[in-house]
Amino acid sequence: MVLQSTTYGERLTGGQKEYRTLAEEHLKHDLTESDRSILETAARKVGIHSTIGASVGLGVGLFLSLRLRRAGAAIYNAAKRVEKPTHLQFADGHTVPFPDTSDYFRPSTAGQILTGFLFSVSGFFLFGEIGLITGAASANRAISADPDARSRIERAFRSFRIDVLRSQADQLERRGAAQLTTGATSSQIGEPKLV
């Protein structure tokens, strides 16, 4: 039996560091200073759009939950004031009292808190995703404004992906060789990370 000297989290962090340094090398060598500034501007646009979208979504969710709270309280108060039948009388003269169910419809504090939380989280994610989409479109326009820079950026990204795939293939070959020499199973060696 082969014992692992590293945990899954350590392997994942190590791979991320490797890919990060690989990406930084491609940024330095494959792109010009203006290309790097275009990429930084595009990344900033995506972040700004997502942040604004999530903030607006949080506010809209809170606003809608407060509106729903007020509407629920108004409906409860209106239903409480309306004259309701108290008994049901049958044709033979038999009378059955109706139970008072108005307490079941009273807005509760826990329900209001839960509604506010769910509406806020829903607005946060919905508008955050909309912000991400609009930010990605804005970043795409920023990158596409200069066709030469776009082709250099695409070429650099392609070569980065090739290097990542080569690195992963090397890891698979090493794991396969280790598995053959030690007779360990793939679960003992660990599964490869895919990007």
As a whole number, mean pLDDT of residues 142-156 equals 91
Mean pLDDT of the chain: 84
C-alpha to C-alpha distances, 129 to 40, 55, 87, 136, 137, nearest whole angstrom: 20, 11, 53, 10, 12
pLDDT at 9 over 50: no
Min mean pLDDT across 21-25, 44-48, 126-130 is at 21-25
Decide if 193 is inside a domain.
no
Decide if 90 is inside a domain.
yes
C-alpha to C-alpha distances, 58 to 52, 117, 132, nearest whole angstrom: 10, 10, 15
pLDDT > 90: what percent of the chain? 41
Per the listing, tokens 């646009």 go with: 45
Domain that holds residue 125: 13-183
Decide if 45 is inside a domain.
yes
Cβ contact 189:178 at 8 Å: yes
Q: Which runs of consecutive H residues, i.e. helices, occur in 82-146?
A: 109-144
Decide if 85 is inside a domain.
yes
Decide if 50 is inside a domain.
yes
Residue 65's pLDDT is 94
Decide if 189 is inside a domain.
no
Instruction: Count how many domains the chain has.
Output: 1
pLDDT tens-digit readout, 152-186: 999 999 999 999 899 889 888 888 877 777 765 55
pTM greater than the 0.85 cutoff: no
Decide if 194 is inside a domain.
no
Residue 192's pLDDT is 55
Decide if 2 is inside a domain.
no
What lies within 8 Å, CB to CB, of 128 at 6+ separation is 50, 53, 54, 57
